Amino acid sequence: MTAPAVLGTDRLELGEGIRWTDGRAVLTDILTGRLLSASEDPAAPLTLIAQLPCPLGAVAPVEGRPGHWIAAAGTGICRIDPAGRVDWIARPEEGAPVPMRMNDGVADPHGRFWAGSMAYEATQDAGSLYRLDRDGRVTRVLRDVTIPNGPAFSADGTVMYLADSARGVIRRYPVDPVSGDPGTPEPFVTLGSGSPDGMTTDIEGCLWTAVWGTGQVHRYRPDGTLDRIVDLPAGQPAGLCLGGPDGRTLLVTSAHIGLAAPGPLDGAVFALRVDVPGAPAAPYRPAVPPAPAPADRAGTL
């Protein structure tokens, strides 16, 4: 394992949702609503892909539609086209009892998109987990989560890991491969310090998680035992993925939000080499692949 390198010159307020897709790393700066891509050149700034007028938690590419994204954003789930235009699919947290926003999200190996919501003030149990099915339906599948992060899935999509960061716990759920419905969870890991944040799995079935507040990334074996700790020069690691041409580059975002005196690398994006690869980000797969959009309808799927 190599020492972490810094990608780019930017320092993000709340860097999250990093994914390796289409030969590049894409990520979000949640509260500024920016979708960005990272260069391997440490002297190059991050490149703006899209700017939303609302928080942007995470995206998944749309299969067969280069430049199109499904996003956890604002109070729901939307499509983003190559011009950065937004088409809302559902806004289930609009008008909630407390102000809400979407947080992390990911597509599973079956082509569905999952996204969590949380209160701006991290109100206990205010958050939920939603699933966008391939036919376009949005379903609330879990309630009573405070700060959902992830989820991450096993390679066959039958196991889901979901962090409730405020409680310091990662739970493991069986998932019905046909319906996508999660079953009864079991505790997977409870952290003694710090908060589990973004997560991903590798080809050995191990789970990687950024641990907010500790400056660390942890790798856990499938039985929940801690396999290794990666130290980073930033106190608030937030999102991560495994990517690069061979899947062996661990990419980690961080944040400087809430820090009274941020260090020079708080909010940076890091990259380091690891031994076991992961897979590129799974795409969202519409049930009926859409025909190419005419120029005047480029914002639709």
C-alpha span between 158 and 164 (Å, rounded):
20
Residue 293, judged by CB atoms within 10 A of its CB (0-12, 13-18, 19+), counts as: middle
Number of H helices, E strands in the chain: 0, 24
Active-site residue identified among 29, 81, 104, 197: 197
Q: Which two tokens stand for residue 84?
A: 């950065």
Q: Which two tokens stand for residue 44?
A: 């190059």
The alpha-helical segments, DSSP class H, found in 162-239 are none
Residue 199, judged by CB atoms within 10 A of its CB (0-12, 13-18, 19+), counts as: buried
Residues 72, 145, 114, 196, Cα dihedral to 10°: 90
C-alpha span between 46 and 207 (Å, rounded):
27
DSSP 8-state secondary structure symbol assigned to residue 75: T
Question: In sequence order, what are the beta bridge partners of 187?
Answer: 171
Look-up of token digits 């005419």: 294
Residue 193, judged by CB atoms within 10 A of its CB (0-12, 13-18, 19+), counts as: exposed
The answer to whether residue 197 is catalytic is yes
Q: Which two tokens stand for residue 202?
A: 């590798």
Which active-site residues does the annotation give? Answer: 197
